[in-house]
A and B are shown apart, each in its own frame.
Chain A
Amino acid sequence: MYRNKREVIKSYILLVLIITSILQVGILYDYQNRGLPISFFIQLFGKSILAGSQTEVLAREQFFAPYRVSVSNGDEGHWLVDHNTDSYKKLWDEAQFYLKSIISSKHTGQTLPSEEWQNLVIKKSFLIEFKSGIRSELLRWFLQVSSAQQAEPQDLYKLLLVPAPDQMEIYILDQFGVKEYAVAYRKGGLVPDSYQALISKFEQDKDSDKKVYSMTEELGLSSRFPISPDILCVVRGPKLREYPGISYSVPQELLAEDVDDIGQSILGADKNSYDNYIDSTGTKVFKNLNNMYRIYPDGFLEYKYISGSDSSDRGELTAAFMKTGAFMNNIIKLLSNSKARIYLSSVEAGPVSYRFVFDYKVGEIPVSLDYSAKGKDGEALRNAIVIEANRQRVLSARAMLKEFEQTREVHSYNVNIGDLIKGTGINFNDIKIQEMGISYLVNSDAGSGVKPVWAIERPGSPSIFVQLKNEKGE
């Protein structure tokens, strides 16, 4: 009997050891969310954390989109294609098809010198632009192409579709120059007449002259000065064009009085594993052994992985992007009431991590941030969201969270490029101009009736912002 009792006690001890072993394995498996062991089980059954495949789908849909799509009639007429239109969806769909054809087949493109780009963009064509180059491995991931081909573009920056009578001529601008491809027209897709019809739609629009642009190449500027040849500018037709204003504010979820409510918005079910407090400046701090979030009263969010130095290498870009995508999902939920969309602005590879930069766009107008010093490090903030991540985790994030909406008031502004440049003191010999265009400037806690400005982007230097003048010249 005494032996039986001993065996029973041993069985109970063994059972407890097995359970604690399983818990320890669970903790080790998911040690990013160290806290109560039950969080491991919550993740298995909880609905707030997305399954990997869902994250992939969302990341592709949300972030694989052009920065801008424009149409050229080959006769000094260029028009922007609104992302909410059927024309945009058709063109982007076609572009993805041709891109996939190029990188998944054995097409060997012909390499042309970079200077050839300026002659190509003024042809009758459709230009799909990204804010900066998309690296080939990320492009393959976006397009769900598994194998790499020798001829694939290394860094997709801009894509030009030039419909020819028998095939589509495709030109890709990447960091090495211009690559030319020829692909048969897609079966069931747009044909040359359809592309011409798209162009005619813009030419014959009743407000065509109020929406038409010229390119810097057509003005002879890019051949004489260090200015990109494909910058759209207003030189013809009415100088005054209408733009709405915007208002922006801190998301309501971040203004909750109860810190727990803010924690719920940012951390979801994991909030219980964090300690939280409000510091002397009103900043809400959420901290556990590995992670720290700071949410400032103006909507600035700072995240750091604080568990010592992360010795893991940066790993594959796509793995790091998946981690970033999961992090971004929570941010996007916070900004669900905002009328601005978030787009992937740039991807840079560092020695131990990748840097993903995202920005806002309201309608077709990008939002430029200009904060001189933000957060603990006091670094300038010129992009909406900047995330450093490797294959295992997000290492740090800096995000200015704002909700945007367009105001009903619309004003006319003089956007003739000559009038805009006048008075800026810009010497075209001295500065390199990458891009110019209308933008909304955000540099304060909240703004109402914010008017657009003219932004001049320079590689490696802060942008220059020029005030627009209305019809009265004010």
Chain B
Amino acid sequence: MAKKISFLVLVLAFVVTFSLPVLAAPGDSPVANETTGEVADVGGAPNAGESTISKEPEGTATQNPSTEAQAAESKTASIALDKIVSGGSIETTDQFLVTITRPEGDENTFKKSYVICGISDEKDIEVRLAIYNQANGLYEDFVTTDGVSSWDAESLFTKEILLGEGANKIKIVAYKKSEADNLKVGVNAQVNVFTVTLLKEGIKDKILNGVLKITEVFEGILPQK
């Protein structure tokens, strides 16, 4: 009997110990934003789909309260933006901040290299590019050939990306940087989604030769495992 009780207590202690980090309350110890390195408060347990955040860097001593507030705002803004970018169910909007001239709509191509092009008449606009990850149902930052996934959209922008075979569901988010702490989709944040499908070269030849089977069309569209 004693053995059973002690075993149960041990198991309970084990469960409680490993549950403690999951149950962190608001206002607990600060953590750092992995991308900016800034120190900011966490506004609650991270939910599924939000970008992951890492531990606070060492040596983060007490800071000026206004800097902390700014950092907190920036962190909140960043999380809000990340949510818009990564969210799989965010509604698309009209192109009221940036006119995307390419792609104009969903399209198919045989060319791996694809150029995204757009024009903005407004200043203070940033554009962020993401691609849909079917595995987790979220959008992830899509890095262009010059190594960026976001850029200032001042007048004309052209960015080259490399497509994966099959359907590439691309999300383009444009927003006003000065209002990043209070982003509202459709008001100061524009969201557009396009599907650019990279077809197999073999299908191109077969289309040209006039020999094409319906199944092969779908094989070319759907990603191969």
A22 near B: Cβ within 8 Å? no
Contact A418 B156, CB 8 Å, known A220-B102, A239-B146, A427-B121 = yes
A78 to B186, CA, bound (A): 38
* Closest B residue, CB atoms, query A425: B155
* Chain A residues within 8 Å of B169, by CB: none
Query: In the bound complex, do residue B117 and residue A221 qualify as a contact, i.e. CB atoms below 8 Å apart?
Result: yes
Per-residue CB contact flags for chain A residues 209-222 toward chain B (1 = under 8 Å, else 0) read 00000100011110
Please state if A236 and B115 are interface contacts (CB–CB under 8 Å).
yes
- The CA of A239 and the CA of B110, in the complex, are separated in Å by 23
Q: Which residues of B contact A236 (CB under 8 A)?
A: 113, 115, 160
Given contacts A219-B101, A219-B117, A221-B117, contact A418 B111 (CB under 8 A): no
- Cα distance A423–B101 when bound, in Å? 20
Chain A residues with Cβ below 8 Å from B156 are 221, 417-418, 421-422, 426, 428
Q: Is the CB of B159 within 8 A of A418?
A: yes
Interface pair B115/A221, CB less than 8 Å apart: no
- Set of chain B residues within 8 Å of A76, measured between Cβ atoms: 111, 115
CB-CB under 8 A from A223, the residues of chain B are 101
Contact between chains at B101 and A418 (CB < 8 Å): no
Within A314-361, the residues touching B (CB, 8 Å) are none
Contact: B160 with A423, CB < 8 Å?
A: no
Using known A-B contacts A236-B160, A416-B158, A421-B156, determine if residue A220 contacts B104 with beta carbons closer than 8 Å.
yes
Question: Inside 8 A of B146's CB, which chain A residues have their CB?
Answer: 239
Assess the A224–B121 pair: CB atoms within 8 A.
no
Return the CB mask of A419-436 against B: 1 if under 8 Å, else 0: 001111111110000000
Q: B92 on the interface (CB 8 Å rule)?
A: no
In contact, A422 and B99 (Cβ under 8 angstroms): no
A429 touches B158 (CB 8 A): no
For B, the interface residue count at a CB cutoff of 8 angstroms equals: 21
- Interface residue? B96 (CB, 8 A): no
Taking the closest CB of chain A, its distance from the CB of B94, in whole angstroms, is 15
Given A225-B119, A235-B160, the answer on whether A424 and B155 have CB atoms closer than 8 Å is yes
The CA of A41 and the CA of B211, in the complex, are separated in Å by 78
- Shortest distance from the beta carbon of A392 to any chain B beta carbon, whole Å: 50
Q: Is the CB of A75 within 8 A of B155?
A: no
- Shortest B125–chain A CB gap in Å is 12
- Chain B residues near A429 (CB, 8 Å)? 121
Total CB contacts across the A-B interface at under 8 A: 63
> Would you call B101 and A224 a contact (CB within 8 A)?
yes
B100's closest neighbor in chain A, by CB? A220
> Contact between A418 and B104 (Cβ–Cβ < 8 Å)?
no
Q: Which residues does chain A contribute within 8 Å of B152, judged by CB atoms?
A: 422
A224-B99, A235-B160 known; A219-B155 Cβ under 8 A: no
User: Chain A nearest CB: distance from B129 CB in Å?
Assistant: 14
Given A219-B102, A221-B101, A75–B115 Cβ distance below 8 Å? no
Q: How far is the CB of A224 from chain B (nearest CB, A)?
A: 6
Q: Are A426 and B160 touching (Cβ within 8 A)? A: no
**Structural contact, B113 and A220, CB atoms closer than 8 A:** no
B56: chain A residues within 8 A (beta carbon): none
Nearest CB in chain A: distance from B124 CB, A:
14
Please encode chain B, from 154 to 180, with 1 for each CB lying within 8 Å of some chain A CB and 0 for all others: 111111100000000000000000000
Within the complex, the shortest CB–CB distance from A164 to chain B, in Å, comes to: 14
The CA of A421 and the CA of B102, in the complex, are separated in Å by: 17
Taking each of A76, A221, A224, A417, which has the highest tally of chain B beta carbons within 10 Å of its own beta carbon? Answer: A221
* Residues of chain A with a CB closer than 8 A to B110's CB: 75
Interface residues of A in 73-118 (CB under 8 A from B): 75-76
CA distance A40 to B158 in the complex (A): 65
**Could you give 9 example pairs across A and B, Cβ below 8 Å?**
A214-B115, A218-B115, A220-B104, A223-B101, A236-B115, A237-B160, A418-B158, A428-B155, A429-B121
Q: Which residues of A contact B (CB under 8 A)?
A: 75-76, 214, 218-221, 223-225, 233, 235-237, 239, 416-418, 421-429
Interface residues of B (CB under 8 A from A): 99, 101-104, 110-111, 113, 115, 117, 119, 121, 146, 152, 154-160
New A-B contacts (10) at CB < 8 Å, excluding given A75-B110, A235-B158, A421-B155:
A75-B111, A218-B115, A219-B158, A220-B103, A235-B115, A235-B117, A239-B146, A423-B155, A426-B155, A427-B121
